[in-house]
Amino acid sequence: MKWVAEALQYLEKQVGARPRVAVVLGSGLGAFAEELSGSVDIPYAAIPHWPCSTAIGHAGKLVFGRLGETDVAVMAGRVHLYEGYSQQQVVFGVRVLARFGVRVFVFTNAAGGINPSYGRGGLVLISDHINLQGSNPLVGPNDDSLGPRFPDMSEAYSAGLRKLAKEVAGELGIPLGEGVYAALLGPSYETPAEIRYLRAIGADLVGMSTAPETIAANHLGARALAISCVTNMAAGILPQKITHTEVLETGEMVRGTLIRFLKALLPRIEV
Ligand code: HPA
């Protein structure tokens, strides 16, 4: 974990504050970073070993700042397995930030809606995931200084944080669904047959991220909360094709609501 240590050392030189909460922003959802006051931007490219995202709609910078009285770190842009990055690279930022002091990770992502009760543009709290990416960030020799060899995943998405998220959404009048996220490798969207399969095994949402980071966060003993933006209904649910443009446009559409939600939620997270 020499690479984590080197990235950490760099951050320690650049940033005075030690946020306990971090937000990871998914496709088309990067605008939240602009809401922080007194912010310091650090492009991923400047941080030793930090993988840079190649996906359109991902900004690729770490932002430190404050929301009211709360120090927050924001990862605007993440890398995905489908870009060719390894599981270790995908969770690199989570590991560095955890070492930096982050104890709660709030992940956001764009996802396809499988549950027919969802609609395009809806926000859904992830209650659990099904990892179908065919790999796991903890494969390989375990670094006991990070966490245990066989971490428990029975409450991968903190029940306490989900309860708080529902309370906050309720107060703001923001409809918030809850469901199981199936993580696939991508980058092709699913076939209708795959979506029928995912529905049969209990998935409500499908996407190409978040599961590795959540596994890594749990391994590190940090708590995770994840919110999907349903950018499109999954393949075969509606008689239309899925395009990345639709995914990004929906992200834009929901942006204001997501920002309002995160601004109210983050200061209320107790760490
Ligand atoms: N499938 C997988 N990932 C996604 C989708 C989808 O339909 N929409 C946004 N990310």
Beta strands in 184-245 (DSSP E): 205-207, 223-233
Give the pair of three-digit tokens for residue 264.
């109210």
Residues near ligand 1 with C-beta < 6 Å?
110-112, 189-190, 206-208, 231-232, 234, 242, 247
Instruction: Give the pLDDT confidence score for residue 68 in this predicted structure.
Output: 87
Q: Out of 27, 124, 190, 196, give the residue to mutate to test ligand 1, the one with the largest number of ligand atoms within 8 Å of its CB.
A: 190
Give the pair of three-digit tokens for residue 22.
């971090």
Q: Encode the chain (271 residues) as per-residue pLDDT tens digits.
A: 789 999 999 999 999 889 999 999 986 677 888 889 999 999 999 999 999 876 665 568 999 999 988 999 999 989 999 999 999 999 999 999 999 999 999 999 999 999 999 999 999 999 999 999 999 999 999 999 889 999 999 999 999 999 999 999 999 999 999 999 999 999 999 999 999 999 999 999 999 999 999 999 999 999 999 999 999 999 999 888 988 888 888 888 888 999 999 999 999 998 8
CA of 26 to the centre of ligand 1 (A): 12
**What pTM, to 2 d.p., does this model score?**
0.95
Catalytic annotation, residues: 27, 58, 80, 82-83, 110, 208-209, 232, 244
Whole-angstrom Cα distance, residue 53 to residue 48? 15
Instruction: Give the pLDDT confidence score for residue 57 in this predicted structure.
Output: 55
CA of 189 to the centre of ligand 1 (A): 6
Instruction: Give the pLDDT confidence score for residue 229 in this predicted structure.
Output: 94
Domain at 2-82+100-138+147-205+225-268: CATH code: 3.40.50.1580
Q: Out of 25, 189, 238, give the residue to mutate to test ligand 1, the one with the largest number of ligand atoms within 8 Å of its CB.
A: 189
pLDDT in tens, 175-192: 999 999 999 999 999 999
Minimum CA distance residue for ligand 1 atom 7: 112
Question: Would you kindly state where each structural domain of the chain is located, as residue ranges?
Answer: 2-82+100-138+147-205+225-268
Instruction: Give the pLDDT confidence score for residue 59 in this predicted structure.
Output: 60
For residue 103, the surrounding DSSP H or E stretch is none
Max CA distance (Å), the chain: 53
**Residue 202: DSSP 8-state:** T
Give every CB contact of residue 39 below 8 A, 6+ residues apart in sequence.
33, 63, 64, 65, 66
Strands 205-207 and 104-113: antiparallel
Minimum CA distance residue for ligand 1 atom 2: 207
Q: What rounded mean pLDDT belongs to the chain? A: 93
Instruction: Give the pLDDT confidence score for residue 53 in this predicted structure.
Output: 72
Residue 257 phi, psi dihedral angles, 5° rounding: -65, -45
**Among 110, 211, 223, 228, residue whose Cα is nearest residue 176:** 228
CA of 102 to the centre of ligand 1 (A): 28
CA of 188 to the centre of ligand 1 (A): 9
Query: Distances from the Cα of 91 to the Cαs of 60, 65, 81, 171, 220, in angstroms?
Result: 14, 22, 10, 33, 11
Minimum CA distance residue for ligand 1 atom 10: 111
